[in-house]
Amino acid sequence: MRDAAPKATWADPPRRRAAAAAAGRRRRARAPLVDLHSHTRASDGSDTPDELVAAAARAGIGVLAVTDHDTLAAAEAARALGRRLGVEVLTGCELTTEAEGEVVHLLAYGDGLAAAGVGARYAAVRDGREARNRAIGRRLRVLTGVGYEDAAALAGGAALSRAHFARVLIARGVARDVADAFERWLGPGRPAYVAAPGLPLAEAVAMVHAAGGVAVVAHPGRLPAITRDRVLAACVEAGADGLEAWHPQHDRDERRRWAGQAERNGLLVTGGSDYHGSHKPGIALGTGAGDLAVPVDAVAELRARLSAPPAPAASPRRTVTSG
């Protein structure tokens, strides 16, 4: 399996990691940044693939993964421009999956995803998403007067998400802010909530592995606290390869805690800004809300797993330990 843990681990306090890395930085003012989670207009971001990669180059990103929701449509264009601008672009996507009754976002990485038909398999999921957005619109129309067409007009061709409905609710004075919109109408258990369709998590993980790819549970801190341990145990059982510890929605302590939990379970640790361009104001490539720093080691570990042969279908799985 994997080698013994390095001396300074990602679970260590930032100061210790910084000291450990200081020697390597003496001659370079700024090491290239890493960002393994970003969106384009192929899903719900505001940038074209070219705009995203150009922005990454300006931001000093050395390795960027493009991870649109349920589609690989932006990957090729992004990689092509990345080659010209000196940004290494990794092919990825953020798959909508379901485990233990919860929606789980699963980051898939790997050059073989498209050829293995992952994008095609997810076409049905994307169609289901359209039906779901219309259902949300019907409910909201009755409740607030805001409908599907209002959110679609705001999205302007980008993949529609609840974030668009929230923005219309704010613009119409129905909700104070995004949090209010989700608490009153759009969040799980609220009257306009309709779950996003997805593949069973185990099926998605198997599909990613069959493509020679790696599957990482996105922003685990966003899973509902009450079912989190059960959902994560199901993810590990299904063969998920890693946890996304570095994410703007995890605070400093959570980032360390998720990194530690991943390492204790022999899982990969990844991270990224979850950049959506102007659709998520205040989130920058590489640095997120300003304090994100994905260790470059994350890329090396990811690469090592990508180049490894696909795991056997019925490999014995670890049991997850939380804490």
Binding site for ligand AMP (CB under 6 A): 161-163, 178-179, 182, 187, 196
Examine residue 105 and tell whether it contacts Mn ion (CB under 5 A): yes
Supply the minimum distance, in Å, between the C-beta of residue 255 and ligand AMP: 19
Kind and range of the H or E element at 133? helix 123-144
Phi-psi region of 290 (alpha: psi -120 to 50; beta: other; left: phi over 0): left
C-beta of 35 vs 44, nearer to Mn ion: 44
CB of 269 closer than 8 Å to CB of 12: no
What's the closest the beta carbon of residue 94 comes to Mn ion, in angstroms? 5
**Partner that binds at residue 187, options ligand AMP, Mn ion, none, CB closer than 5 to 8 Å by kind:** ligand AMP
Q: Which is nearer to Mn ion, 35 or 274 (CB)?
A: 274
Extended beta strands in the chain, E state: 33-35, 61-66, 88-99, 102-109, 199-200, 214-217, 242-246, 268-271
CA distance 231 to 236: 9
The listed partner (Mn ion, ligand AMP, none) that binds 196, CB under 5 to 8 Å by sort, is ligand AMP
- Give the nearest distance from C-beta 117 to ligand AMP in angstroms: 23
Three-state SS for 322?
coil
Tell me the three-class secondary structure of 38-81, residue by residue. ECCCCCCCCCCHHHHHHHHHHCCEEEEEECCECCCCCHHHHHHH
Which one of residues 33, 42, 44, 305 is an interface residue with Mn ion (CB under 5 A)? 44
Contact letters for Mn ion, residues 171-210 (x by CB under 5 A): ----------------------------------------
**DSSP-based three-state secondary structure for 245:** strand
Q: Cβ of residue 187: shortest distance to ligand AMP, in angstroms?
A: 5
When CB distances are held under 5 to 8 angstroms depending on the partner's kind, the choice from Mn ion, ligand AMP, none that residue 105 binds is Mn ion
CB of 294 to ligand AMP, least distance (A): 19
**Residues that contact Mn ion, how many (by CB under 5 A):** 5
Please identify which residue in the block is written with the tokens 């605070």. Answer: 251
In angstroms, give the least distance from the CB of 182 to ligand AMP.
Answer: 4
Specify the residue, 196 or 267, whose C-beta has the smaller distance to ligand AMP.
Answer: 196
The DSSP secondary-structure symbol of 217 reads: E
Tell me, residue by residue from 259 to 278, as one string, x for binding to Mn ion by CB under 5 A and - for no binding: ---------------x----
The residue among 197 and 295 lying less far from ligand AMP, judged by its C-beta, is 197
CA separation for the pair 95, 107 (Å, rounded): 6
- The beta strand positions in 102-217, using DSSP E, are 102-109, 199-200, 214-217
102 lies in the site for Mn ion, by CB under 5 A: no
Please state the closest distance from residue 68 (CB atom) to Mn ion, in A.
8
Place of tokens 């200081």: 22
Report the residue number whose CB is nearest to ligand AMP: 161
Q: What angle do CA 205, 200, 63 make, to 5 degrees?
A: 40
- 11 binds, options Mn ion, ligand AMP, none, Cβ within 5 to 8 A by partner type: none
Nearest distance in Å: CB 238, ligand AMP = 21
Q: Are 212 and 112 in contact (CB under 8 A)?
A: yes
Instruction: List the beta bridge partners of residue 275.
Output: 38
Partner interacting with residue 162 (select from ligand AMP, Mn ion, none; CB below 5-8 Å by kind): ligand AMP
Q: Which residues bind Mn ion (CB under 5 A)?
A: 44, 94, 105, 218, 274
